[in-house]
Chains A and B, each alone.
Chain A
Amino acid sequence: MFEIDYAESGDIRCSGRLDAAQSAKAEAFLGRLDASRTLDFERLEYISSAGLAILLKTQKRLSESGAAIRIINVNKHIYDIFRYSGFNAIFEIETL
């Protein structure tokens, strides 16, 4: 199960497993962003290439208007995925 919503801080909280079956939910939410935002991955357990594609698509779109997403509280396993994908060079990332 994957959940995505706004925290009181305005950050976007992601939780659960962002896999191929859940990527449409992430895409629908992130597709509405039109300004820089922080994604809080503290409760995100897992991400696959389907989720990575949504993050990259969102970052590319936002960058056209000078905005960006920043990702915080990334667990070790997900950070390793980011590193193997080269995402650590195109996203500002903070690990747990």
Chain B
Amino acid sequence: MAGQAFKRSIDSVADIYRFSEDIMAAADIDESVRFPVHLAMEELFVNLVSYNPGARRDILIDVQIANAGVVVTITDHDAAEFDVTKERPVDTGASLRERKPGGLGLHLIQHMVDTLEYDYRGGRSRIRFSKEQGTTDV
């Protein structure tokens, strides 16, 4: 398992990409896994940064290669409780006039990863997700 701490800033998104891309490329992980892993990492990290702006501590990300898939654990020791596994329906069939920008991040993650777990205790938020090859068409 490889882990790294990232500053609570949207600008960290590029560093997170490089960190996880290097690990997945070295393990020859297929793009069909890499794309949704990058997406889920970004969406979850941005959520932690955006919805808890007063927090100060870095956010830890661990990436583990397992068979032809990837397991990612994101730990925030300075978090407000926010269960990312809770269903947040988006009316994807609404007309252009009815659609409102935003709110798609968790909807996409819940469709694209294979497992998604959330644990919160004592101000510590831990999110774990996995993605294996060939499990969705992304």
Contact = CB atoms under 8 A, between A and B. Distances in A.
Contact of A48 (B92, B95, B105, B111): B105
Contact of A77 (B14, B17, B31, B107): B31
A46 B38 contact: yes
Contact of A60 (B13, B38, B39, B96): B96
A52 interface: yes
A53 B102 contact: yes
Nearest to B45: A20
A90 interface: yes
B84 interface: no
Interface size class of B (residues with CB under 8 A): 20 to 34
Interface size class of A (residues with CB under 8 A): 20 to 34
A1 to B, nearest CB: 8
B17 A84 contact: no
Interface in B92-111: 92-97, 99, 101-105, 107-108, 111
Contacts of B35: 46, 77
A57 B103 CA distance: 13
Nearest to A86: B92
Interface of A: 1, 17, 19-21, 46, 48-50, 52-54, 56-57, 59-60, 63, 77, 80-81, 84-86, 89-90
Q: Which 3 A-B pairs have the closest CB atoms?
A: A86-B92, A53-B101, A49-B105
